[in-house]
A and B are shown apart, each in its own frame.
Chain A
């Protein structure tokens, strides 16, 4: 449930030794056919060449701008930081291809349904990257920090409040969390108020990233984000350790000899931020070994002979959100504003019908993306609704909806006014540097113009990543509608993206039926899989009616891997990770 984008990228770092090759299917026909089967890719890459000892892997972090550089799963806010932490931090639990927790990680667990507890057993002799012992006390510490009254990050939510004794601790009434019991260095039990099915979901309701108490305890929680410990010398339990950073530009990792699976084969991993406009050529020339490629340029790089393309479905849904209210930092709750510009559901529905995402997916992304008919990506079987209709391209219907709702163009300037006769100017915000972002945004604005809506870009331009999310989080009035991506992580639980009390619910939409359904999703009702599927379907239907968001696209994540890399596997649930990667030559293949 605490699906953060970090979990998505933690996955990017996991690999397996032997994998199953999947058949490469060609999209049917020459003209892009929206209904064609989405191309499938290999997820494993093997090489028979002998490996060299050590070596430096060059990883390109594809981003238009910079990463924030907060190397701590409890405090990072930035998808790129999360991608970086895939090298240096690791969850104590492992999971399988269905994103369910398994017993092969640093810790094993036992769920007691009657007592509503989870007992965690850590392996003996675990160490942090600086050599200090990793014990269950560090797990407790993580809960203490995130639950701390001074904690200002975004991970504290219903999942944490679900721990017995947490709310009292959070309010400062208790000095410790009653529900967490430390039995000894390797045994810990957490008691929950309710059994939440997300507890067994990877990246879900059971927080699984320990924090190094020995390194951080002298720092007040309110100052942790800024501390040098988090930024320059972070301590984690992952296969690699941060050696040097140029803030926002590059990170040099070195092998962590204390890693629980043994010292990694590589000596170093060098990560550099590379812009999406140059990454294709950079990979062609062999400047980098691994990069996530922009799908809109697929035709340009699919035939490069020095790389192998691997792909998998991305754990994310691109969507268009509407700002419908505000967020109270104090109480932490969102509240709906019935007078907001986008408050009329008909207006939102019309905007949804004006867009032909199937067309966009086929034409811009070569079928490597597909139109989304709901918020849950299809990689989560049993959560999404295959039969859901979703929004399709129907500009006539859009026009009718607007007419009926009173949005008419009375002064014949080509744009509709509000039912009250006021001019309607809608401000749309999107992140700069996304895959074909400018083309997609220009298309959307044009389509809305076709149904008579005057939409223009907030601030006149696409917005830089950090600034964009700052504006969303602070409910900047310059944004009415926005385009964003919901990184589901491994847990498609939507409470974070649309829950009443979630800071990451940027729409600020609240709805009672939504509360009920989300409660069921997070409660015992959803423990049964069939029941759970039904609840999710009801929830999707609610979204289709109320339209706080318009799901637009589901994406394929394509990795370009240089042929000198051995053992690279991107399959979800793989058990072997960066520590097994090896290289077959000193320099990448050109």
Chain B
């Protein structure tokens, strides 16, 4: 019941709107390395991690074999060609190679998802640390501000931003997606930092006169490392999912650029869904497996951290 109550309390505090983020909270902090050790015992998670690495290699190495201009070459005579021969995964409506689009698109999605995670991670964790450590008016203001950003789902806000900025590059797109993403993270880390900041070792360092920044980075942060890992992992899955979703709705990258979302859009037409499944099915499967692996790894990490914590490490 305790966990549930903690969760309620934290949710009431407006921390976690997204339900699975709530499950990332661990009651205390755990050493990163010992967590990894625990992780290794979870065979399914190791398999997931292995698969993930394999898929990443497949995408990144595979995409080197394809040149974007060539992949997006329109070849009307070969429209909706079934897999085989020149096109291992067939072609789409305009005769463009699906495998090439899949690999290049997946690479873009992964890069974008990672970039957004890293960017919002830095901002979120950074602001959270600062806010939790110093407290005061700025902390109060920031938390209020975050509260209002978090009223609306991130995807809605990103959609609005994308519609305002009509033409954008991949870089701008990443910025837009990160624009509101950091808020939830900020809150989580701010709360953690606050409780850490009350602990003895921090007070000791403060009394010893250590620089605040050093305290935050060298002492508090490592203690939050398990949280960082888990939070980042789940965040990565969410961001990749969000990018795919935006692309699917038509608010991602332009149709001339290979992307997973564009391939998935083909599934909207039941005729294509059924008769030309090679266009959308590989993309859906790839994204699904990648996300599944990331989520498994993240859940396993959390379980590992919990296990460690219960062992009193």
Contact = CB atoms under 8 A, between A and B. Distances in A.
On whether the two chains bind one another, the answer is yes
Interface of A: 275, 277-278, 280-281, 297, 300, 359-360, 363-364, 436, 438-439, 442-443, 445-446, 456-457, 459-462
- Kindly state the interface size class of chain B when it binds its partner: 20 to 34
B272 A277 contact: yes
Q: Which DSSP category, helix, strand, loop or mixed, fits chain A's interface?
A: helix
Nearest to B251: A461
B167 interface: yes
Nearest to A438: B255
A456 B94 CA distance: 17
A486 B168 CA distance: 32
B117 to A, nearest CB: 25
Q: Which DSSP category, helix, strand, loop or mixed, fits chain B's interface?
A: loop
Contacts of A278: 268-270
14 contacts: A275-B268, A277-B269, A277-B271, A277-B272, A278-B268, A300-B271, A360-B76, A436-B93, A438-B94, A438-B255, A443-B94, A446-B73, A457-B256, A461-B255
B269 A442 contact: no
Contact of A461 (B73, B79, B254): B254
B271 A438 contact: no
Nearest to A447: B74
Contacts of B96: 442
B156 interface: no
B269 A439 contact: no
Interface in B253-267: 254-256
Contact of B76 (A281, A359, A459, A460): A359
Given A443-B76, A460-B166, 8 more contacts: A280-B269, A280-B271, A300-B275, A363-B76, A442-B74, A445-B256, A457-B254, A461-B255
Contacts of A445: 256
B77 interface: yes
B250 interface: yes
B256 A363 contact: no
Interface in B261-289: 268-272, 275
Interface of B: 72-74, 76-77, 79, 93-96, 166-168, 250, 254-256, 268-272, 275
B173 to A, nearest CB: 11
Contact of B74 (A275, A281, A439, A456): A439
Contacts of B268: 275, 277-278
Which one of A442, A445, A456, A457 has the greatest number of beta carbons of chain B within 10 Å?
A: A442
Nearest to A359: B76
Contacts of A436: 93
Nearest to B78: A363
B254 A460 contact: yes
Contact of B256 (A297, A442, A443): A442
B87 to A, nearest CB: 16
Contacts of B166: 459-460
A439 B93 contact: yes
Which one of B167, B271, B275 has the greatest number of beta carbons of chain A within 10 Å?
A: B271
Contacts of A360: 76
Nearest to A297: B271
A275 B265 CA distance: 13
Nearest to A446: B74
